[in-house]
């Protein structure tokens, strides 16, 4: 089979899975929907491996292959095909996506076991994987936008999966609309680029770009910055990030798959894919780098103060993606993508472990209520710890190597990039603090009632689940976790899935150790062949300094977390009081929600209300319509009444009008 055939197969399996599960939603027996879903994604993973092997069989400078099924919209100068691009970058992405998805599907089979929306869940989840694969395999701008929007849709459906929760539907529409803003950026950016290149195909665009654009040209810079808007929306970068914490309304496997491992990395992929354009638009590159750096810092400060365990991980995701966006924006493509991969492993693992605790807590997500789960849930604890160490960048866990490589490349650029370098290490320090804050608060200390019951072999559950945000009693009809939350300690598929990801979180860093091996660098090189930035890094001094600094910061962050939340628990409130200003800013998430509300949502609603209530009523109906109605009423009082009267009147006016006009033109000519 040719390489691109594998590419089409990768898309076909999840799509078929969606259709099969969707079509059989009333007939599929037992848990079969879950196994169909998991199986089709695993087949897609095998096809991705096939694509990898087949791609490596090509010579290094022939590893960018396109294949087109049919013309999608080719008219009037547009050349949109239904085409995919299989190259090292897309193969890298499909491997990560299908690999992590397989594990998360497997986890979900147990995690959603007692949910009444089980079948629907797997139809959505397979559709999501299809969309994400379409996004990364798209061979032109139109198909990229299609995949991009399908991902938005799948994310929306899964966030509002428990759709009778008003908080879930509100979070869903918020995420959808913000991502539509991103789509708009993407479409407009495409317009700016298409205006000069006259093609929508990626490879043709990239080969034309150096000829039609001069470096720093206005239209190209505008186009790239608009593409960044799309990337920021999808990757939850400031100020388009506010949907991500709310997206935690979705079931936990959704948070793991979509809002940690895959969808939110789309922006990173986009910048890497568009690197031939971005390298001609330095202003756009700088914008991406600065926004990434700001996001990684701001999100880390918020994560330190939040108490909802899933939201802490969500802000951590934002922060880590900030590193990736910064990396690919300064030209550290391989490093950024390497971090994308390791992050997918350890962050999905963290979410899964958190899901297990939430299961044990019967849906409760507040860290304030968790304590001492270490002995009750040893497997979950070990998984969380591995994920946490990888996230905090402690050697030899995977996050250590990937994060440091991004910062190394940033530092090597010199100049003002040093500021980014410093911000990156401050972020790393904060990362260790908030990660181990979670671990120490959830797993250490005196066990709470739920943990003690679990130790005694009994899983605690509330009689009637309520929504912690609104206090509403949950509508368990549509499928809500209900009385039997699953925990990893008791479900084999969950343990297998978490075990696989834990392996990745521990070992994935070893494939690219500075000075030792360069698997990712070498594999991705054909995609970035034309890039001047894609060079081996040489400054040994900075490399060693960075590795040591990263380790020390990580360890000291853990130490501080230990001191504040384990050794001397009284410190936390004291610190909160002492730094009340900063704490208020962080705990209120830097007031971004309030800001967007005041600047966008409320004005738009006000305009809508004005148009509906005032303008429409007073002007259109009152003046325009009312006026004309009255005139005609007065004139037609004699003929009005019966329908025939209307018609006669109409005919009379027609005749009158015709003769009048005929007369006018006769006189004129």
| Segment 591 to 650, residues that bind other proteins, using CB under 8 A | 604-605, 607-609, 611-613, 616, 619-621, 624-625, 628-629, 632-633, 643, 646-647, 650
Binding footprint of other proteins, residue count (CB under 8 A): 73
Task: Name the CA dihedral angle for 67, 222, 324, 440, rounded to a multiple of 10 degrees.
Answer: -130
In the complex, least distance from residue 193 CB atom to other proteins, rounded to whole angstroms: 12
The nearer residue to other proteins, 266 or 500, going by C-beta atoms, is 266
Q: Does 74 bind other proteins (CB under 8 A)?
A: yes
State the DSSP H helix or E strand holding residue 453, giving kind and residue range, or none if neither.
helix 449-455
**CA 175 to CA 263: how far, in whole Å?**
12
User: What is the rounded distance in angstroms from the CA atom of residue 46 to the CA atom of residue 25?
Assistant: 26
Nearest approach, Cβ of residue 201 and other proteins (Å): 15
Question: Would you list the DSSP string of 180-243?
Answer: HHHHHHHHHHHHHHHHHH---BHHHHHHHHHHH--TT-HHHHHHHHHHHHHHHHHTT-TTS-TH
Nearest residue (CB) to other proteins, 117 versus 447: 117
Report which DSSP code applies to 72.
E
User: What residues numbered 79-138 form the site for other proteins, per CB under 8 A?
Assistant: 80, 120
d(CA 34, CA 16): 14
Which element (helix H / strand E) includes 61? Answer: none
Sequence-separated (6 or more) residues with CB below 8 Å from residue 360: 373, 376, 377, 450, 451, 454, 459, 460, 485, 487
Binding residues for other proteins restricted to 159-188, rule: CB under 8 A:
160, 163-164, 166, 169, 172-173, 176-177, 180-181, 183-184, 187-188
* Interface positions, 649-668, toward other proteins (CB under 8 A): 650, 653-654, 657-658, 661-662, 665
Give the whole-angstrom CA distance, residue 573 versus residue 564: 10
Q: Does 70 bind other proteins (CB under 8 A)?
A: yes
Site for other proteins in 428-457 (CB under 8 A): none
| Smallest separation (angstroms) from other proteins to the CB of 501 | 31
| CB of 3 or CB of 190, closer to other proteins | 190
Q: Does 191 bind other proteins (CB under 8 A)?
A: yes
Q: Which of 57, 62, 195, 214 binds other proteins (CB under 8 A)?
A: 195
d(CA 184, CA 177): 10
Question: Is 53 one of the binding residues for other proteins (CB under 8 A)?
Answer: no
State how far Cα 508 lies from the chain centre.
22
| Contacts of other proteins in 453-472 (CB under 8 A) | 472
Query: Is there binding between residue 540 and other proteins (CB under 8 A)?
Result: no
Which span (88-96, 153-161, 482-490, 576-584) binds other proteins, by CB under 8 A? 153-161
Q: If residue 331 lies in a helix (H) or strand (E), which one and from where to where?
A: none
- Give me the least distance between CB of 538 and other proteins, in Å please: 43
Instruction: Between 21 and 487, name the residue whose CB sits nearer to other proteins.
Output: 21
Query: With respect to other proteins, which residue has the nearer C-beta, 569 or 622?
Result: 622
Distance, in Å, from the CA atom of 313 to the CA atom of 347, rounded to the nearest integer, reads 8
Of 418, 438, 447, give the one whose Cα is nearest residue 360: 447
Q: Which two tokens stand for residue 20?
A: 């099969």
CB of 76 to other proteins, least distance (A): 4
Positions in 15-34 near other proteins (CB under 8 A): 22, 25
Tally helices (H) and strands (E) across the chain: 28, 2
């Amino acid at each position: 089979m040719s390489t691109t055939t594998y590419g089409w197969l990768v898309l076909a399996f999840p799509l078929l899975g969606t259709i099969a599960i969707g079509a059989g939603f009333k007939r599929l027996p037992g848990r079969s929907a879950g196994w169909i879903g998991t199986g089709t994604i695993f087949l897609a993973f095998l096809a991705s491996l096939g694509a990898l092997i087949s791609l490596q069989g090509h010579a290094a400078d022939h590893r960018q292959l396109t294949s087109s099924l049919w013309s999608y919209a080719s008219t009037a100068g547009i050349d949109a095909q239904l085409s995919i691009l299989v190259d090292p970058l897309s193969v890298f992405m499909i491997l990560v996506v299908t690999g992590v998805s397989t594990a998360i599907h497997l986890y979900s089979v147990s995690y959603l076991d007692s949910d009444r929306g089980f079948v629907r869940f797997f139809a959505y989840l397979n559709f999501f994987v299809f969309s994400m694969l379409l996004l990364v395999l798209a061979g032109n701008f139109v198909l990229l936008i299609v995949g991009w929007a399908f991902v938005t849709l799948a994310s929306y459906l899964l966030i509002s999966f428990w759709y009778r929760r008003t908080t879930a539907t509100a979070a869903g529409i918020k995420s959808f609309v913000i991502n539509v803003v991103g789509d708009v950026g993407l479409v407009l950016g495409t317009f700016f680029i298409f205006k000069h290149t006259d093609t929508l195909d990626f490879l043709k665009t990239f080969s034309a770009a150096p000829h039609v654009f001069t470096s720093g040209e206005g239209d190209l810079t505008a186009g790239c910055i608009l593409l960044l808007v799309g990337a920021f929306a999808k990757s939850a970068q400031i100020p388009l990030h506010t949907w991500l914490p709310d997206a935690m309304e979705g079931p936990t496997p959704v948070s793991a798959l979509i809002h940690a491992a895959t969808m939110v990395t789309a922006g990173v992929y986009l910048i890497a894919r568009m690197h031939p354009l971005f390298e001609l638009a330095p202003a756009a590159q700088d914008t991406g780098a600065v926004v990434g750096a700001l996001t990684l810092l701001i999100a880390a400060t918020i994560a330190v103060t939040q108490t909802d365990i899933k939201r802490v991980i969500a802000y951590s995701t934002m922060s880590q993606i900030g590193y990736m966006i910064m990396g690919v924006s300064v030209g550290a493509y391989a490093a950024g993508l390497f971090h994308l991969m390791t992050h997918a492993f350890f962050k999905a693992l963290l979410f899964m472990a958190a899901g297990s605790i939430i299961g044990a807590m019967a849906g409760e997500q507040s860290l304030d209520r968790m304590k001492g789960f270490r002995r009750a849930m040893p497997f979950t604890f070990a998984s969380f710890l591995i994920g946490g160490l990888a996230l905090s960048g402690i050697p030899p866990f995977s996050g250590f190597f990937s994060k440091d490589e991004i910062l190394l490349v940033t530092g090597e650029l010199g100049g003002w990039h040093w500021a980014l370098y410093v911000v990156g290490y401050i972020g790393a320090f904060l990362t260790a603090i908030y990660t181990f804050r979670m671990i120490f608060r959830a797993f250490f200390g005196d066990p709470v009632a739920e943990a003690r019951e679990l130790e005694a072999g009994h899983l605690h559950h509330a009689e009637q689940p309520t929504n912690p945000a609104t206090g509403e009693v949950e509508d368990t009809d549509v499928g809500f976790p209900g009385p039997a939350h699953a925990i990893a300690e008791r479900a084999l598929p969950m343990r297998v899935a978490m075990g696989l990801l834990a392996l990745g979180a521990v070992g994935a860093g070893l494939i690219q150790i500075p000075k030792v091996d360069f698997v990712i660098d070498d594999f991705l090189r054909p995609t970035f062949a034309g890039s001047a930035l894609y060079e081996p890094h040489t400054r040994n001094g900075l490399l060693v300094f960075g590795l040591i600094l990263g380790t020390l910061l990580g360890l000291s962050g853990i130490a501080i977390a230990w001191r504040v939340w384990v050794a001397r628990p009284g410190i936390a409130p004291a610190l909160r009081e002492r730094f009340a200003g900063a704490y208020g800013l962080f705990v209120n998430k830097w007031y971004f929600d309030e800001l967007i509300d005041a600047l966008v949502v409320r004005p738009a609603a006000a305009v809508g209300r004005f148009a509906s209530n005032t303008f429409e009523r007073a002007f259109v109906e009152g003046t325009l319509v009312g006026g004309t109605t009255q005139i005609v009423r007065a004139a037609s009082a004699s003929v009005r009444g019966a329908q025939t009267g209307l018609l006669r009147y109409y005919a009379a006016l027609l005749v009158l009008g015709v003769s009048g006009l005929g007369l006018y033109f006769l006189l004129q000519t």
